[in-house]
Amino acid sequence: MPGARRRTAVATKAPPGECCPQLHEAVELVGKRWTGAIVYVLLEQRRPMRFSEVGAAVPQLSDRLLSERMKELEARGIVERHVHADTPVRVEYTLTTMGRELAPALKELQRWGQRYL
């Protein structure tokens, strides 16, 4: 996939008391503005969604930023983009296995937010 970042497995267990690098990267990825909400919407719908449907489900998210986040999620392997050669062309987005595996973490974060925020 052009532009996709290649990952190299490296033993990077953090010493006791230091931040785990994988945890830090995961939080930065999902915690980026609107990204968690986009993934959550795709998880909840459990079906392919068109760009406009995702945008409508995330209030105040601009098309420009949604497009940017979808490209980032696709590049990271969390979202798949499916182009259907209909007239007009139809583009749908679905979560990959990696994306669906975020469900327990996002549900726990939602539960925490409902309790404390």
Q: Along the 117 residues of the chain, how does pLDDT read in single tens digits?
A: 555 555 555 556 767 778 888 888 888 888 889 999 999 999 999 899 999 999 999 989 999 999 999 999 999 999 999 999 988 889 999 999 999 999 999 999 999 999 999
The pLDDT assigned to 45 comes to: 93
The pLDDT assigned to 70 comes to: 96
What is the reported pTM?
A: 0.80
Closest CA to 39 of 104, 112, 117: 104
Q: Look at the domain 21-116 and name its fold.
A: Arc Repressor Mutant, subunit A (1.10.10)
- Domain definitions of the chain by residue range: 21-116
Say what the alpha-carbon torsion angle 40, 110, 57, 74 is, to the nearest 10 degrees: -20
Strand order in the sheet with 49-50: 49-50, 90-95, 79-84
Say if CB 61 and CB 51 are below 8 A apart. no
The pLDDT assigned to 10 comes to: 53
Going by the DSSP 8-state scheme, the letter that residue 28 receives in this structure is H
Residue 18 CA, chain-centre distance (Å), reads: 26
